[in-house]
A and B are shown apart, each in its own frame.
Chain A
């Protein structure tokens, strides 16, 4: 089927052998040359005879990676200078941020890390719009207050044409219905991971998690270092809505977290994967991507990954979404747009996904993965079936946020006492 001799600029579905010759750089150059036309590279949908190329797909460091079939926008806008991104730890493939961005976009990137949305807001708020950061990556519910405080600026959407590649399900979210300020970087959820040689019973619900934490895993248990997540877990365990502002619930939650749970906690750790592999915990509340990382670390440390189990807590858990935004006063807004647009190209997006292990919100994700990353390991920790997605809820910033943060602080003080 793919034997036709259509010029590659128009028909990117080139023969296997030709694809391998195309270096990644060359593809980008073609893309940018045609950028003015904003070509949407079309391919015949069928592609019947060839199974998607499986060789070397996950390793994207050098040329020869395949292109996804289907109707995708792959516009690349070149930019210049440096691009400063302020993001969560270990959140982009270093290859992308390094050599590839330099090659494809012509920008050299500098990345700094924050630990919480509040950290990010404090940094931007205390620098009078001169923080020097171009791209910031807040979690959805924090976006409205960042708009109110004038910390982020509106996109020039004509510079992000590849946004059409993002699944409608992850666009037009409550916090930014028109996507004027933000676009999904990736989303994830929260669950827990445990050493089944220590905790022999099966953990399913959030109530199971708390029980194990206070019994078998007492003193060897870590929880996320964010107030809303701990409040959330209590709500999910007790069948409450975590977006309610009910004082009685807040009091009951605080009482449980501070008086009962805190003493059993070993650490408030938002990224437990390394410490899990070091053997510091037997039970950890974790985000799915980090939990997935933990399996690789455990293998590296010479441990046995088969004893470690992972579960999304039932009956309810969260769906969080981190978003690319452009900081107000960004020194290089042009490059910021170029990067965001570039990250919306399916091949780039999947490369990043393979690194950080979170769903990047591209449409036709199943097809993309089967074509671009068929060897992807532990996909069940990245992609979720409908039943699982149905039990995920999104956090809203309510008036109770201060209470939630305060709870965490009291818990920390109690745990240390």
Chain B
């Protein structure tokens, strides 16, 4: 009797089903739905440059839409979609063998190595990698001259820079990792027994792949396509850096409507149509996939006859030469291995170039001036502070290791203490160095870009925190308390994912302007708080939108596979919902939260489009500053900055990995986490 009353009490206490999603709902309403609605309204306005916000909403018109359809602008739309579709298919074609090879053909150890190698390039600045493609593509560059000397190409060298082909290459490169990882995760989850059963039932390797593996990997393929195609459509950076007039994409065209032409209504109309176009392509893609079984069924008589003839032929050939199959498998494996190595090399080309060109003796990053020089690195190592810092690190860690050794020799301390000493020593050295010297300042002040590196981290960490909190809570709510609200919420999340970044950027920039004088809401964005200025708050909001949507999906997927029995048991045992959440749910979703945090951290660190529009003086991030520099000359010290940013990121990740390992997660879990799954 009492327990029943208890339960009822608890149920009533819970409030509405979407209570955990309330923070996300408020956030999306304030910073996505309302701002985007304004952009939709602008698209019916007329241009009026005499106003501060150059839109006249006095007379609403659809002229902007007809202008987009009438004009040659429409061709850019089509070109953009073509580039994105081709690039998505290329990513799929290039990435699938790699994912397949990694999932099925290598040992656990090599799997971790390959996945790490796929992930690592994405921790180098997206923008600098794109700029680095100028180096091998330049007609006067060494690579081009070398090809000319070999007689492979004509005297004028490689003629790819500032063309659509250059954009196509770089865009495939930029998004390949985002295709390989979801494909791998999907393939890795396939039960090997399914494939074995297929083979036992007489299916060949190709038949197994098409009939069993591919359908089971469907969700992974869908995720990969979404993660690559949508950002490609809105991509602004690649076309701006490499595209020239012929490689213009709609993202940069929309951006130039807002900034250069100050034609906000037309830009808004383009952005709205662009979302429509992206949704249309995705819908037709989905329709195509849905139709595949029907098409296959219709074609069954044909395929079966083909299959039969193949089977007969292989039977005939296997009679003659039995071991050929065994050798065949080896050949396939070697082919896959070579392919994977080539793809990994491709992914590292720009990174190696960035490293090399940070030692360029010339004054331009992309033009190699003949010999190496440490002058751009010199600024960083000019003062003795760097060496003092390194020696402090070595001394402190050395001392701690010595103490640890002594403690271990005595053998009377718990393993817990000794295993945590390494990371703690590192932290201690970090703090001591910060207190004892100005080395943070020395490193972060060099060449004037240190600030941007620091801002990048402040922005990315803040936005990731927001994303993890919002996405974690709403992910739990979606999985645990589904209801009528789920559909609306999921539609919003999907809309956030498909909205091109440039549209978010514009929506937010005008929104912040509007709410600037609203009490409470506007205060943070206008005046800032504590050490963070208004621009930093704007960055947190802007970068957290896409990231929180991604975290939501990851957490929801993780919880969908687990039933609620554990939480209910905790409740029955008298735990409050808060306690049940803390002690049961949180540990269950921790790996999803870490995966989501890593993914959003990477995305936020590279964010250029939203950040460029919303940032202010004093909150300029590395990609924003670099994007500014791409407009004139990129000095080699940007390469130095990119390498620094990369090393700091890798250092932080290594630290996180060590801490996770010490707290008991297995290495394969960590690998899986790093791989985004």
Contacts and interface: CB of A to CB of B under 8 A. Distances in A.
A114 B76 CA distance: 25
Interface string A105-126: 0001111111110110110011
A91 to B, nearest CB: 8
A108 B451 CA distance: 11
Nearest to A111: B448
Contact of B140 (A82, A90, A267, A303): A303
Given A126-B510, A412-B253, A278 B75 contact: no
A128 B259 contact: no
B578 to A, nearest CB: 39
B644 interface: no
A278 B73 contact: no
Contacts of A290: 632
Contacts of B613: 126
A309 B624 CA distance: 35
Interface centre among B71, B157, B244, B447 (most CB of A within 10 A): B244
A97 interface: yes
A119 B259 CA distance: 5
Nearest to A356: B632
B632 A89 contact: yes
A297 B53 contact: no
A410 interface: yes
A8 interface: no
A300 B510 CA distance: 44
Contact of B253 (A90, A126, A413): A413
A406 interface: yes
Nearest to B522: A128
Contact of B625 (A112, A130, A297, A408): A112
B47 interface: yes
Contacts of A115: 259-260, 628, 631
A90 B367 contact: no
Interface string B149-180: 00000001100011000000000000000000
B75 A416 contact: yes
A24 interface: no
A339 interface: no
Contact of B369 (A86, A88, A271, A300): A300
Give the size range of A's interface with the partner: 35 or more
B107 interface: no
Contacts, number: 207
Nearest to A415: B245
Interface string A393-417: 0000000001001101110111111
Interface in A274-325: 274-275, 277-280, 290, 293, 296-297, 300-303
B378 interface: no
Contacts of A131: 616-617
A405 B261 contact: yes
A113 B367 contact: no
B161 A278 contact: yes
Contact of B617 (A84, A125, A270): A84
A397 B516 CA distance: 30
Contacts of A337: none
B134 interface: yes
A268 interface: yes
A273 interface: yes
Given A132-B533, A268-B245, A271-B632, A302 B262 contact: no
Chain A interface SS verdict (over half):
mixed
Interface stretch (B35-43, B358-366, B646-654, B660-668): B358-366
B534 interface: yes
A118 B367 contact: no
Nearest to B141: A278
B245 A412 contact: yes
A129 to B, nearest CB: 9
A266 B262 contact: no
Interface in A226-267: 258, 262, 265-267
B262 A278 contact: no
A94 interface: yes
Contacts of A262: 245
A89 B162 contact: no
A300 B364 contact: yes
B325 interface: no
B162 A267 contact: yes
Interface of B: 47, 49-50, 52-53, 71-73, 75-76, 79, 134, 138-141, 144, 156-157, 161-162, 243-248, 253, 256-263, 362-364, 366-370, 445, 447-448, 451, 509-510, 512-513, 516-517, 526-527, 533-535, 613, 616-620, 624-625, 628-629, 631-634
Interface of A: 82, 84, 86, 88-91, 94, 97-98, 108-116, 118-119, 121-122, 125-128, 130-134, 145, 148-149, 225, 258, 262, 265-271, 273-275, 277-280, 290, 293, 296-297, 300-303, 402, 405-406, 408-410, 412-417
20 contacts: A89-B628, A91-B632, A116-B260, A125-B53, A126-B509, A126-B613, A127-B513, A268-B245, A275-B162, A277-B140, A278-B366, A280-B244, A290-B632, A302-B370, A405-B262, A406-B261, A413-B76, A413-B253, A416-B75, A417-B76
Given A113-B625, A413-B248, 20 more contacts: A84-B618, A89-B632, A110-B620, A112-B625, A113-B631, A115-B259, A115-B631, A121-B262, A127-B513, A132-B617, A274-B367, A296-B363, A300-B362, A302-B140, A402-B47, A402-B49, A406-B261, A413-B75, A415-B245, A416-B76
- 3 nearest A-B residue pairs (beta carbon): A89-B632, A113-B628, A279-B139
